[in-house]
Structure 1
Amino acid sequence: MSKSESPRKNTAMAGGMAAPGEKPKDFKKPWGKLISYCKSYLPAIIFALILAVIGTTFTIIGPNKLSEITDLIMAGMMGVMDITAIGNIAMFLAILYGLSFIFTYIQSFIMATITQRISKRLRTDISNKIDRLPLKYFDSTTYGDVLSRVTNDVDMIGQTLNQSIGSLVTAAVMFFGSLIMMFSINVTMTLSAVVATAIGFALMIFIISKSRKYFVRQQEDLGKMNGHIEEIYSGHDVVKVYNGDREAKQTFNEINERLFDSAWRSQFMSGMMMPLMNFIGNLGYVVVCVVGAALTMNGSITFGVIVSFMVYIRLFTQPLSQFAQVATSLQSTAAASERVFAFLQEEELEDESNKTVTLDAKDVQGNVEFKNVKFGYTKEKLIIKDFSSYIKAGQKVAIVGPTGAGKTTLVNLLMRFYEVDSGEIKIGGVPIQSITRENVHELFCMVLQDTWLFEGTVKENIMYNKDDVTDEEVVTACKAVGLHHFIRTLPKGYDTVLDDKSSLSVGQKQLITIARAMVKKAPLLILDEATSSVDTRTEALIQEAMDKLMKGKTAFVIAHRLSTIKNADLILVMKDGDVIESGNHEELIAEKGFYADLYNSQFEDAS
């Protein structure tokens, strides 16, 4: 489709980056949607979290037993060492920590399994969503941004569900459990430890609130970066030819600079958490030692209490840093979820499961009628204005006109890539709106300007998505387009794998796509500048082969080279969305109108 016929934008820069000072988005909604999406897995997730709670509880009980061992050792140093009692407590601790490890292992196994299934389901849903999206969505969205949602955003969600949710529950249990245990042992020392850590907790909350918006920007900028790279490197030949390197680099640098800024701010603020928590933890150790020493001197506590408190302080302050890390991850995941679910909630094509009318490609003759068709990519500007025409089965119809006249748009409407604003299009007397899009596509084979080959053998590329094509039909089609001799020179002939290393010319790739169209048993054929990439001699051979193989098919040919459509049964001359002339080549030349001017100007340019 030409640029003037489509609203397709250069959207490598699109995406809606949050402006500086913008209020952070609501994170409850994306998390609510994510929880709702995972509701079928919630029982297993809850079970895994319960295991995490039990395992953490066992860990919390341990330091209190260490206090008893310490007191027994201290008493033994003054008299007789009670090895039996010490051994019993040590055995109890070993069993306790062993059970903690087992429960934590099972919890990790369950969460890893569930999160990968959720990630797989998300990728599948996004892939299915792409198939249900109208073409107009991709007219205003870069492919790189869509790919970023499938890869970066889904991976971010998976990692958070796998690691951060369990860590959050474990940290919460560790935090409050340690606090309860410390209060049960000694209130004075507990209050001293809480005051020391309260400062760090307040700073952590402040930093999290300030860093939230930068995680949103980071995910958005990452999507823009992917979009720009995909766009530039997929067309790097054009960029090189037109010396667009400098502009491409400038755009890349601008996006990269914004990504650096948002990533640096978010990661710097999240990176402050660990040093801050280490400082608070060390401060807690000092406070416990000082206060504990004073209480020991007074005889209020034993030395074992100080030892247990040293461990509990670590267990108490460690969750604070985990809270900070989890909060960072949750923010990134909320931003990723927002992008994923926004994509999944995009307006889809109309559901056609209720349509019962079906056209069989074998029975359709190929009569096509356009009746008062109107269409515009936007409501303000019509591209096709009240177009009507009747094409008989088996006719070769050429659609010509200047760029932006609406030629490709007309074909897109015929294929139901877009829906008409008013009027109707009929195939075999049946309105195409009354049958499914899939059924419409079964009636057509198409060759476009842009060749598309996938990594597979030559034969697989030609037989694409068709199981009923024989090897003989593949060879016949390749002979018809003059490709057979070339294929035989390949290392493995028709079984040669085509990949990035294959040295096929643009013309050879186009010939393969033409052969692919030929082997499809469809009554209608669309050629959108199908011969634009081949030389004149090959073009003549293709035209001759097409005339033979299109016999009995209704063919729509979009061509700028008017010399290739002189033998068309009907030529539709379009300008500004209207068909201003129609007839065969001789009739239109005799009229000395717009077509005659176009035809003669091409030969004047050639001379």
Structure 2
Amino acid sequence: MSQQPPPIHQEAEKVHVSGETTKSGETPDVNENNNTTDQAAERAAGKQALKDLLAPVRGKLMCARILAALSGILAIAPYIALVQLGDTLLRAALAGTPVDAERARFIVLVLLSTFMLRLFLYFLALGITHFADLRLGDHIRSQMISRLSRAPLSWFTATNAGRVRKALQDDIAQVHTLIAHQPVEATAAVVTPVALATYAFVVDWRLGLLSIATLPLFALANVWMMRGMGEKTVEMDSKLAVVSSTMIEFVSGISVVKAFGAVGRSHAAYQRAADEFSRFYLAWVTPMLRGSALSDATVSIPILLLVNLAGGATMVHAGWVEPADVLATSLISLVLPAAIQTIGENSWAYQLTGAAALRIMKTLDIPIIARNEGSGTVEGDDSKNQKVIPRDNTVEYRDVSFAYGDGPLAVQNVSVTLPAGTVTALIGPSGSGKSTLATLLARFADPTSGSILLGGVDLRDLDPSTLYQRVAFVLQEPQLLRVSLRDNIALGKPEASEEEIRRAAEHAQILDFIDALPQGMDTIYGEESNLSGGQAQRIAIARALLIDAPVLILDEATAFADPESQADIQEALSTLVAGRTVLVIAHRPESVIGVDQIVVMTQGRITAVGSHEELLDEPHYSRLWRSAQLRITEPESGKGSQAGSKLNTVEEQR
């Protein structure tokens, strides 16, 4: 019945993806004093986060506590009725007279009424806290999803995916206990034993002392076991995060690890983290288990009955108390330890919830891509609902620089114009900043300095809905959701009609394949059908066609497609690029000969801009072109060069 060791099996399940990814085999190596200070600071931050998080429902929780307190006070009513009923029956038996049936019925009626009222108040309090929990959970999830939807892509790149899942799912579930149960249970756990102990002393102070005789030993044992609980809880959560991250690292890369015969080395990092956690946990809970056994013995039913009934019998024999009084206080003594245990369990839940609340508040405080109140062409008469709209589809990069977090600049002082209705190709070696520059146009992040204009309007001045009506993208690896193929195609335009969706699929050269599936458009991707890379890419192209955005970003859309699909994808792309402002990320110069302009990037900077013929004498481009010619002459790269050159066909058809 005493404070139990931390439920590690539950916590491990909750944090199995919560840790930030660490280098293989690394574990925190910090000064012990600094670690203690950090833990104390984190506990204080957790308490403040919990206070801020519960602010919207604080009034409801207080109301529930009051009802729980009234319910706790009413807990003494059955014992009062028991004493009164016992006294009535005993007096009648000793006097040899009939039992006062009217009084007995009244006592029983009072007992039942107060018992039912107590249950009603208790469940009413729980109902209030559960509704408060539902409202707060919905409020938190809505805020979190809204925040995440406006977070820059760079934040997701730098953040462990488990952190997001944990905040959205596990941490909100953890807060559920504190809101839906803790206010009622903790209040009742405090008020009920106080009320019962008080009544035991009212019955007889000597019986009152007997009812709490073993509690000091029980309480002292629990206080001893609870010492350092807050710091240990934070440390446990931290060490579990390390175990989690090394486990994810091992499992995620298992195919590569096995292929290169590095299973032992890769597994060692996880094993070291698990061993360290095991040593910490055993050192923490082993003394607690011994203390738990001793404290449980002091409040075990045999000990409590022995103390109270033996002592009570002595007092009855001495004529100090009545048998009914002894029975009532003995029953009270059995209830008190359980109430104290509830307080301990709620204290443990409070420690865990503080850490969960802090993670939730941090997620709610992530950076977002804000919208400026800029100027430009305005649509609509209502000043409150005015939207700035671009005048055309020209894209301008003006002295744009960008860095991921505190790292070096990935793009440096880039200035280039993409005229409306033209195709611009970005080429350069790996890591030159091509994809970064393209994703800035899709506003996955904002430039560290400089600006990007669409039709003369800074992207930061555009409403997101306006931006994504005008900018679409088809990436190397199409991201499809585990929903129907229809919903995947209509992701950017949910209100699209069936006819529009089918037309987009037809132009993307994928409609015949979809119609041949047993469920057709209702096929769930990833469950009822697994698509090849080329088929998934054509679904992504159909999605872009349906949006009908005038600005298009293509990231080597045929790079990972199978040879059989490349021709279909190229035909779909020829439809997609027609009449649009297109930015193509290319890895092979031979694939972009026919574009309107080629932008050569090296180490985050633009080194040349022009057509293929104009750039043949430019050092960086000519080096890339010579490398491409060497690939073309190699027999094994023939298929690749044919597939790459097909963008010229797209240009001719455009």
Distance 1:28 1:293, change over 3 A: farther
2:610 corresponds to: 583
2:428 corresponds to: 401
Alpha-carbon distance in 2 for matches of 1:378, 1:511: 34
2:318 corresponds to: 298
Picking from 403, 413, 420, the partner of 1:376 is 403
Alpha-carbon distance in 1 for matches of 2:104, 2:79: 14
RMSD of aligned residue pairs (Cα, Å): 3.4
Alpha-carbon distance in 2 for matches of 1:18, 1:25: 18
2:6 corresponds to: none
Distance 1:357 1:232, change over 3 A: farther
Picking from 23, 36, 50, the partner of 2:66 is 50
Distance 1:147 1:382, change over 3 A: same
Deviation at 1:335, TM superposition (A): 1.8
Aligned residue for 2:361, secondary structure, equals helix
- Structure 1, 208-217 or 94-103: larger mean CA deviation: 208-217
Is the 2:197–2:208 contact (alpha carbons within 8 Å) kept by the matching residues of 1?
A: yes
Deviation at 1:339, TM superposition (A): 1.6
Residue 76 (structure 2) pairs with residue 60 (structure 1): yes
Is the 2:423–2:584 contact (alpha carbons within 8 Å) kept by the matching residues of 1?
A: yes
* Letter in structure 2 aligned against 1:398: A
Distance 1:44 1:473, change over 3 A: closer
TM-score by length of 2: 0.81
2:205 corresponds to: 187
Is the 1:375–1:383 contact (alpha carbons within 8 Å) kept by the matching residues of 2?
A: yes
Distance 1:379 1:233, change over 3 A: closer
TM-score by length of 1: 0.87
Aligned residue for 1:497, secondary structure, equals coil
Deviation at 1:141, TM superposition (A): 1.6
Picking from 25, 45, 50, the partner of 2:40 is 25
Distance 1:161 1:273, change over 3 A: farther
Picking from 572, 585, 599, the partner of 1:558 is 585
Alpha-carbon distance in 2 for matches of 1:545, 1:192: 87
Deviation at 1:438, TM superposition (A): 4.5
Picking from 535, 538, 551, the partner of 2:562 is 535
2:627 corresponds to: 598
* Letter in structure 1 aligned against 2:21: A
Aligned residue for 2:73, secondary structure, equals helix
1:339 corresponds to: 359
Alpha-carbon distance in 2 for matches of 1:187, 1:426: 83
Aligned residue for 1:402, secondary structure, equals coil
- Structure 1, 576-585 or 30-39: larger mean CA deviation: 30-39
Alpha-carbon distance in 1 for matches of 2:217, 2:457: 75
Residue 176 (structure 2) pairs with residue 161 (structure 1): no
* 1:318-337 alignment, distance < 5 Å: 318-337=338-357
Alpha-carbon distance in 2 for matches of 1:121, 1:270: 39
* 1:88-167 alignment, distance < 5 Å: 88-167=106-185
Unpaired stretches in structure 2, ≥5 consecutive residues: 1-18, 380-387, 639-654
Alpha-carbon distance in 1 for matches of 2:390, 2:366: 37
Is the 1:217–1:262 contact (alpha carbons within 8 Å) kept by the matching residues of 2?
A: no
Alpha-carbon distance in 2 for matches of 1:261, 1:338: 27
Distance 1:379 1:83, change over 3 A: closer
Residue 308 (structure 2) pairs with residue 281 (structure 1): no
Is the 2:147–2:364 contact (alpha carbons within 8 Å) kept by the matching residues of 1?
A: yes
- Structure 1, 67-76 or 556-565: larger mean CA deviation: 67-76
Is the 1:451–1:513 contact (alpha carbons within 8 Å) kept by the matching residues of 2?
A: yes
Aligned residue for 1:203, secondary structure, equals helix
* Letter in structure 2 aligned against 1:128: S
Alpha-carbon distance in 2 for matches of 1:231, 1:357: 48
- Deviation by residue 1:241-297 (Cα, 9 ceiling, x = unmatched): 666766665555555556666777788788788756543324444333343333333
Is the 1:526–1:556 contact (alpha carbons within 8 Å) kept by the matching residues of 2?
A: yes
- Structure 1, 138-147 or 36-45: larger mean CA deviation: 36-45
Is the 2:53–2:357 contact (alpha carbons within 8 Å) kept by the matching residues of 1?
A: no
Alpha-carbon distance in 2 for matches of 1:474, 1:595: 40
Aligned residue for 2:164, secondary structure, equals helix
Is the 1:481–1:514 contact (alpha carbons within 8 Å) kept by the matching residues of 2?
A: yes
Residue 549 (structure 2) pairs with residue 549 (structure 1): no
* Letter in structure 1 aligned against 2:486: K
Distance 1:557 1:239, change over 3 A: farther
Aligned residue for 2:425, secondary structure, equals strand
Distance 1:308 1:351, change over 3 A: farther
Deviation at 1:197, TM superposition (A): 0.9
- Deviation by residue 1:353-387 (Cα, 9 ceiling, x = unmatched): x4464688997532222222222225562222222
1:73 corresponds to: 89
Deviation at 1:111, TM superposition (A): 2.0
Alpha-carbon distance in 1 for matches of 2:145, 2:27: 23
Residue 82 (structure 2) pairs with residue 82 (structure 1): no
Alpha-carbon distance in 2 for matches of 1:601, 1:184: 100
Is the 2:221–2:292 contact (alpha carbons within 8 Å) kept by the matching residues of 1?
A: no
Distance 1:485 1:390, change over 3 A: same
Distance 1:274 1:253, change over 3 A: same
Picking from 514, 526, 534, the partner of 2:553 is 526
Distance 1:498 1:522, change over 3 A: same
2:14 corresponds to: none
2:189 corresponds to: 171
Is the 2:424–2:598 contact (alpha carbons within 8 Å) kept by the matching residues of 1?
A: yes
- Deviation by residue 1:407-461 (Cα, 9 ceiling, x = unmatched): 0111122222222233322222223233344433332110112221123332322
* 1:165-564 alignment, distance < 5 Å: 165-220=183-238, 249-253=267-271, 278-282=296-300, 283-350=303-370, 352=372, 354-355=373-374, 357=376, 364-378=391-405, 381-467=408-494, 469-536=496-563, 538-564=565-591
Report sequence identity in percent.
Answer: 23
Query: How many positions carry a matched residue from both structures?
Result: 597
Is the 1:573–1:595 contact (alpha carbons within 8 Å) kept by the matching residues of 2?
A: no
Distance 1:116 1:96, change over 3 A: same
Deviation at 1:398, TM superposition (A): 1.0
- Deviation by residue 1:455-502 (Cα, 9 ceiling, x = unmatched): 333232212231464545444443444323322322243343323331
Distance 1:126 1:241, change over 3 A: farther
Distance 1:240 1:213, change over 3 A: same
Alpha-carbon distance in 1 for matches of 2:531, 2:258: 20
Alpha-carbon distance in 2 for matches of 1:130, 1:260: 35
Distance 1:574 1:522, change over 3 A: same
Deviation at 1:52, TM superposition (A): 1.8
- Deviation by residue 1:38-77 (Cα, 9 ceiling, x = unmatched): 3343333222222222222222132233223333334444
Is the 2:211–2:333 contact (alpha carbons within 8 Å) kept by the matching residues of 1?
A: yes
- Structure 1, 241-250 or 330-339: larger mean CA deviation: 241-250
- Structure 1, 199-208 or 220-229: larger mean CA deviation: 220-229
Distance 1:231 1:268, change over 3 A: same
Is the 1:144–1:231 contact (alpha carbons within 8 Å) kept by the matching residues of 2?
A: no
Deviation at 1:546, TM superposition (A): 2.5
Alpha-carbon distance in 1 for matches of 2:377, 2:52: 38
- Structure 1, 379-388 or 394-403: larger mean CA deviation: 379-388
Is the 1:51–1:104 contact (alpha carbons within 8 Å) kept by the matching residues of 2?
A: yes
Distance 1:247 1:480, change over 3 A: farther
Deviation at 1:527, TM superposition (A): 0.8
Distance 1:278 1:224, change over 3 A: same
* Letter in structure 2 aligned against 1:551: A
Aligned residue for 1:527, secondary structure, equals strand
Alpha-carbon distance in 2 for matches of 1:290, 1:18: 57
